[in-house]
């Protein structure tokens, strides 16, 4: 049996998604579920957060996802999403 992971969105990530136009909302959520299906995919870079989590950053479909993986609970904890078009 394949162990499935699920995305879990922070308040900041949820707020970002809700402020997008409907079509981009769907794209962002689809990307999150794709990421959860492949949680061990190679990210673009990793930084440690204040709690010591390895926060991975992945550029995909015009978004930058910041997330860490909770293997014990099989969750992809999405902490932040940015629009790659407008990131500095």
Domains by residue range for the chain, with CATH: 6-83 (3.30.2310.20)
Burial of 63 (0-12, 13-18, 19+ CB in 10 A): buried
Judge whether 77 and 8 are in contact, CB under 8 Å: yes
62: alpha, beta or left? (left if phi > 0; alpha if psi -120 to 50): left
Q: What is the pLDDT along the chain (88 residues), one digit of tens a residue?
A: 457 999 999 999 999 999 999 999 999 999 999 999 998 888 999 999 888 889 999 999 999 999 999 999 999 999 999 998 765 5
Mind listing the pLDDT tens digit for each residue in 56-74? Answer: 999 999 999 999 999 999 9
Quick count: other Cβ atoms within 10 Å of Cβ 4?
9
């Amino acid at each position: 049996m394949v162990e499935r992971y699920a995305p879990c969105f922070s308040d900041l990530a949820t707020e970002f998604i809700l402020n997008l136009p409907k079509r981009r909302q769907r794209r962002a959520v689809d990307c999150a579920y794709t990421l959860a299906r492949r949680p061990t995919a190679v990210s673009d870079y990793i930084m440690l957060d204040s709690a010591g989590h390895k926060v991975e950053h992945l550029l995909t479909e015009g978004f930058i996802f910041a997330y860490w993986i909770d293997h014990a609970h099989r969750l992809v904890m999405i902490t932040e999403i940015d629009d790659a078009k407008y990131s500095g």
